[in-house]
Amino acid sequence: MQGVIKSYDPGTGDGIVVRESDLAEFDLADDALEGSIFRMLRQGQRVVFDLDRDGRASGLSLGSEVDMGTPDLS
C-alpha cells in the first residue's frame, strides 16, 4: 500500500499514515522503521507500507520521490 505520513513524533515513534487509495488512517507499529532506510519521518513524506496483525502500519519503505503534502482531510 502507498500512503503519506500525516504526523510523526521522533521522540516517541508515534505516527499516523494516511492510505492514498481511500484516506484511511493507520497508526505506526512500534517496529515500523526496523529494517528500513528511515531513521525518522516527516509530514507529507510518501511511503509504501504493510499492515501488521493489529492493523498498524509496518515495514515502511520509500514511496514516490515527490512530496505530495498531507492530504486534505476536511
Where do the DSSP E strands lie in 1-74? 2-8, 15-19, 25-27, 46-51, 57-62
For the chain, the structural domain boundaries read 2-62
Q: Residue 61's CB: how many other CB atoms inside 10 A? A: 12
Contacts of 69 (CB under 8 A, 6+ apart): 4, 44
Q: CB of 25 within 8 A of CB of 5?
A: no
Q: How far apart are CA 51 and CA 39, in angstroms?
A: 19
pLDDT at res. 65: 52
| Whole-number pLDDT of residue 69 | 54
The yes or no reply on domain 2-62 and CATH 2.40.50.140 is yes
Q: Tell me what pLDDT residue 38 has.
A: 72
Predicted confidence at residue 64, as pLDDT, reads 60
Give the residue ranges of the chain where pLDDT is below 50: 66-67
pLDDT of residue 73: 56
Q: Which pLDDT score is estimated for 40?
A: 79
